[in-house]
């Protein structure tokens, strides 16, 4: 009888926890009209986010990406005007949801820009993670588990970089400050992103360092 009661209580608690768990955000990728001027063009999509039952968080995240769109368009217009009739500039930007569990929403921006006279295009990745309760952008320091701070010192991150699969630059001797660019993968692990030439040569590309530690 006692075991049956315990089993019933456990089932009830599990049901309650599932009912209380926030649903993942709804994210739709919206393709913007292509902006063209001669050989120059901008192609961009952006995430349209709805946090179920939370209008304030929805508004906060949507405003973030509205500002991103404007900044991208303004930057492209300035670079296009600088190029003039003697050159051109092309830019593409897209987004990918990497984590969406009802607590955090993590989205990675991938972009590429090419100036007509450059030897090769420049590309980048930038992670952004939101707290789905507030809609606010959060740093990795805010979401690491208590006690995991010891795994995120400059020394530990440098050790992870130097022992990673990536070919780093010959002049790279280690980070001197903590990285800021990060995202969460599907399992909730924290990844640091390092841009071209930041820690490795162009041929290596973007360095994606999985710290193998989950957010709280």
CATH number, domain containing residue 157: 3.90.640
Give how many domains the chain has, as a whole number.
2
pTM: 0.87
Q: Is 54 exposed, middle or buried (0-12, 13-18, 19+ CB in 10 A)?
A: middle
Same domain, 117 and 207: no
Mean pLDDT of the chain: 91
At 119 the pLDDT is: 86
pLDDT attached to residue 13: 45
pLDDT at residue number 58? 98
| Domain closes at, from 82, 106, 129 | 129
pLDDT at 84: 75
> What is the structure's pLDDT at 15?
44
Question: What distance lies between CA 43 and its chain's CA centroid?
Answer: 19
Looking at the fold, whether 24 and 110 belong to one and the same domain comes out as yes
Show the low-confidence residues of the chain (pLDDT under 70): 1-21
| Residue 61 within any structural domain of the chain | yes
Q: What is the pLDDT of residue 22?
A: 75
């Amino acid at each position: 009888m006692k075991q049956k009661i315990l089993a019933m209580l456990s089932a009830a608690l599990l049901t309650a926890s599932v009912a209380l768990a926030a649903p993942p955000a709804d994210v739709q990728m919206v393709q913007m009209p292509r902006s063209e001027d001669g050989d120059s063009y901008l192609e961009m999509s952006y995430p349209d986010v709805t946090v179920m039952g939370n209008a304030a968080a929805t508004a906060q995240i949507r405003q973030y990406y509205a500002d991103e769109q404007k900044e991208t368009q303004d930057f492209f217009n300035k670079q296009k005007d600088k190029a003039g009739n003697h050159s051109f500039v092309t830019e593409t930007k897209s987004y990918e949801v990497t984590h969406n569990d009802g607590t955090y929403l993590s989205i990675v921006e991938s972009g590429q820009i090419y100036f007509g006279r450059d030897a090769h295009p420049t590309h980048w990745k930038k992670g952004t993670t939101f707290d789905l309760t507030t809609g606010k952008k959060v740093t990795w320091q805010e979401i690491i588990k208590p006690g995991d701070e010891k795994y995120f010192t400059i020394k530990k991150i440098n050790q992870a970089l130097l022992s990673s699969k990536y070919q780093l630059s010959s002049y790279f001797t280690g980070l001197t400050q903590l990285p800021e660019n990060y995202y969460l993968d599907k399992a909730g692990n924290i990844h640091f992103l390092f841009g071209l030439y930041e820690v490795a040569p162009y041929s290596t590309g973007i360095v994606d360092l999985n710290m193998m530690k989950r957010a709280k």
